[in-house]
């Protein structure tokens, strides 16, 4: 038993080392990374969104479409998410960055809600018969919304 335990521990440690060498991208970045500047916004304000798709592509999740939303969480019901931009991704873009400006819409915001900008990456995957199917994964970055 003791021998088995040490063998398994050794194997696990080798596996961890190999996967760490194989990739610099954390699992959390498998659908990409997104940033907003400025990150504190008022309705009507222009902001810049930058998505970095390096890790999404490295993980095999090359975008077909990129949808950007503002989503909210609160202790009560909030309406949304609201769509900020829907973009078709050109997979020859180098470096693999999707950057654009947008204006924060006038909407029903709440002082007690927590806001995020959400990137939804829709990418193609082969299904069980080889047919290409579009599936989606997302990542959030926090923002503040004030002055409404």
Q: Residues in the site for ligand NAG, rule: CB under 6 A?
A: 39-40, 52, 54-55, 62, 91, 95, 97, 124, 142-144
**Cβ of residue 70: shortest distance to ligand NAG, in angstroms?**
13
Spatial separation of the C-alpha atoms in residues 118 and 142, rounded to whole Å: 9
**Cβ of residue 108: shortest distance to ligand NAG, in angstroms?**
20
91 or 135, CB closer to ligand NAG?
Answer: 91
**Cβ of residue 39: shortest distance to ligand NAG, in angstroms?**
3
Spatial separation of the C-alpha atoms in residues 123 and 88, rounded to whole Å: 11
52 or 122, CB closer to ligand NAG?
Answer: 52
Look up residue 79 and give its two tokens.
Answer: 């309406």
């Amino acid at each position: 038993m003791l021998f088995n335990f040490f063998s398994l521990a050794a194997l696990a440690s080798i596996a961890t080392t190999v996967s760490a060498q194989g990739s610099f991208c954390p699992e959390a970045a498998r659908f990409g990374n997104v940033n907003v500047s400025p990150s504190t916004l008022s309705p009507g304000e222009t902001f810049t969104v930058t998505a970095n798709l390096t890790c999404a592509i490295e993980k095999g999740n090359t975008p077909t479409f990129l949808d950007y939303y503002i989503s909210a969480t609160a202790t009560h019901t909030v309406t949304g998410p609201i769509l900020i931009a829907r973009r078709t991704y050109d997979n020859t873009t180098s470096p693999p960055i999707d950057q654009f400006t947008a204006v924060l819409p006038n909407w029903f915001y709440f002082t007690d809600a927590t806001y995020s900008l959400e990137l939804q990456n829709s990418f193609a995957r082969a299904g069980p018969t080889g047919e290409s199917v579009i599936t989606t994964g997302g990542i959030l970055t926090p923002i503040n919304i004030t002055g409404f």
